[in-house]
Each structure stands twice: as structure tokens, then as C-alpha cells.
Amino acid sequence: MAFDLARSRQILERTPAVLRALLTDLDDTWITTDYGPKTWSPFDVVGHLVHGEKADWIDRARIILAEGPDRPFDPFDRFAQERDSVGKTIDDLLQELATLRAENLRTLDGFGLTTADLDRPGTHPALGPVTLGQLLATWTAHDLHHIAQICKCMARHHTNAAGPWRAYVSILG
């Protein structure tokens, strides 16, 4: 499927509400438990999404629009939530995500992007040449990836309890 900014925006604007509906008023075990070594809990994932709103998508779009491929993106700290989320609750993070996402979507809309703009080049520090359209498509896929990751984490709480039905529920691993 070809990238369509309006269609992607439908996902980007809904992500905070989806996460709020999924995670609000749950027992802390649902929020803070991961599913194994080097995995993230739902709390970690939301913290990661918050950091992305502060330091990734719109910042990189601005670099592409202002400087093109001559200025590589700043590296993104994929683990910044480990320090940035300390002392916060899931409700704090969900509210921060909703606020930042709304601001970022207003900024995105303010760019007045054309189809031609989506082909504008940038430089990722590890991946090399990228386009604005690829960045925005990845922002959307990134949201969906992390929603799925949260669901996987939560489902894995019932891996053993599901007994033989595990064979029919692939998310249980």
C-alpha cells in the first residue's frame, strides 16, 4: 500500500486514546510486568512513546524540511524512558502522550505537506538515506508495533493459565 498521510494520521491521532482505554484503571501488575528478559512492560512502552514525541518524529521532519540530507538526524535514545519515567504513573504518561501527540499533529498539519514533500530526503545516522514519507510511515507503524507489544505483554500473563488453548492463541508464544 502506498503511503497516504491522511490515512496514517488516522492512526496517529487515535493512539493515545487507544492506550488510555487499554491501560487506565488496571491493576499495577498489568502495567509494570514485562514478559521476559530484554522486554518492556506497558509502562515502559508508553514512556518510550512519550520520549519519541519529544525527540524523534517531528524533530526529524523539521530537519528534513529545513536542511535535507546534509544534516543527519540526532541519534534517538531508545531507552530514555528508563530515566524519564521515574516517579511518574501510567496516568501521567498517558496524559503526557496525549498532550504531546496533539501538539505534534498540529505541527505536522502546519507544515502543509505536499505529495512532493514526502519524497524529500534526510539522513538517518544508522540507516542512511530516508525520505520524509518513510519517516511518517514509520511513525505510524511504530505506534501499531507498540500497541501490539503492549497486548502481547498483557496476554503473556495468561500463557500458563490458558493450558492447551495456547496452541490456538499465537500471541501466547
Per-run averaged pLDDT (10 residues), the chain, 173 residues: 92 98 97 92 97 96 97 90 92 98 98 96 97 98 97 94 96 89
C-alpha cell at position 1: 500500500
Tell me the β-bridge partners of 129.
123
Q: What pLDDT is recorded for position 1?
A: 74
Q: What pLDDT is recorded for position 148?
A: 97
- Distance between CA atoms of 171 and 160, rounded to whole angstroms? 13
Contact 157, 150 (CB under 8 A): no
Q: What pLDDT is recorded for position 55?
A: 94
C-alpha cell at position 65: 524540511
Contact 147, 57 (CB under 8 A): no
pTM for the predicted model, two decimal places: 0.95
The domains of the chain, with CATH numbers, are 5-172 (1.20.120.450)
Angle at 20 between CA 135 and CA 53, to 5 degrees: 30
